[in-house]
Amino acid sequence: MSSAASGASVRRVAVLGTGTMGQGIAQVTAQAGYVTHLFDVDAARIDRAIESIKQVTDRLVQKGKMLNEARSEIIGALVPTPDLARAAKDVDLVIESAPEQMDLKVGLLREVKSLAPESAILGTNTSSLSVTEIGNRIGAAHRTIGLHFFNPPPVMELLELVRGLATDDATVDTCLAVAKRLGKTPIVVNDAPGFATSRLGVVIGAEAMRMLESGVASVEDIDRAMELGYRHPMGPLKLTDLVGLDVRLAILEHLHKEIGEQFRPPAILRQMVRAGRLGKKTGEGFYRWTEAGPVPTSFKR
């Protein structure tokens, strides 16, 4: 069994996937000085992701929150890589950010395992799937770990490290060192359905949806209750829009199957996903996302 790379030896990172999370993770790793191979099967999506990072960092420069030299270094550290073999070659850390589907993540990481160095850590940005199962199925359980970033990755401080049943200490220690370099505050949790964060977050979100269904209060007032009464920076319904209603539904379905009835998805969530109202990414969810800002949607009991 080969040992994972030490924190000091991690120099190159491969980020697999250019969705909202993959793009944000790539920005964070490049900003920390890691050479970052950004992979997607569609080269055009890679180009769009890098262009978006350019725009985000350009705004930071304009606001005086980032030096132009630092921005140039970030963009220079991003390596668009539409070929998986090239993306995986000579990397020390892989961060998979594919859609939340077990077979898809396993297939991608299994292929990467055959292409990357034997010492490379295989990280998955899953928010609820079993890291133990992923590691076992790809045949590299000791160097497989959950690296659960939060949306948007450049802003959110937390990084949840999920230790699978066979994840070794060297892998965890390396990722703790990486988290520090990324400017994140890590927590380490043992592999369990929903880990710590998703399990707590979806419970509040699902209950907020049930309250909306039964007419307890409006979208805006339910969110205000948690923002002003409990100091949450964002209400559970607005947060669901930001995460994606389809993502929240997938997590709840998984936890309902694994844990029990308290995680049964609310009917309103299923209906909205079927209607294509997935939140901010489609322009409408519990809010309508306009250029002027989010506007609460009216729901009649």
Q: Do 33 and 49 belong to one domain?
A: yes
* Residue 300 pLDDT exceeds 80: no
Instruction: Please identify, among 143, 172, 190, the residue that sits at the C-terminal boundary of a domain.
Output: 190
Structure tokens at 266: 């609310």
Overall domain count for the chain: 2
Instruction: Kindly state whether residue 2 falls inside one of the protein's structural domains.
Output: no
Output the pLDDT for position 246: 94
φ, ψ of residue 87 to 5 degrees: the values are -65, -35
Residue 90, domain member (yes or no): yes
Q: DSSP string spanning 202-269?
A: HHHHHHHHHHHHTTSS-HHHHHHHHHHHS--SS-HHHHHHHH-HHHHHHHHHHHHHHT-GGGPPPHHH
Do 177 and 160 fall within a single domain?
yes
Chain segment 243-267, per-residue pLDDT in tens: 899 989 999 999 999 999 999 999 9
Among candidate residues 149, 168, 190, the one where a domain is terminated: 190
206 and 174 within one domain: no
Do strands 158-163 and 144-148 pair parallel, antiparallel, or not at all (unpaired)?
antiparallel
What is the Cα–Cα distance from 120 to 90, expressed in whole angstroms?
8
146 in a structural domain: yes
Residue 1 lies in a domain: no
Q: DSSP class of residue 7?
A: G
Mean pLDDT of 178-182: 96
Buried b (16+ CB within 10 A) or exposed e, 36-50: bbbbbeeeebbeebb
Domain boundary among 141, 159, 190: 190
In terms of residue numbers, what domain contains 221? 197-296
Sign (positive or negative) of CA dihedral 198, 17, 56, 250: negative
Mean pLDDT of 219-241: 96
What CA–CA distance (Å, rounded) separates 119 from 126? 21
183 and 216 fall within a common domain: no
| The two three-digit tokens of residue 154, written as one number | 């450049």
183 confidence band (pLDDT: 50, 70, 90): very high
- Determine the pLDDT at residue 93: 98
Rounded Cα distance, 237 and 247, in Å: 13
| Residue 113, pLDDT above cutoff 70 | yes
Domain for residue 280, yes or no?
A: yes
CATH number at residue 136: 3.40.50.720
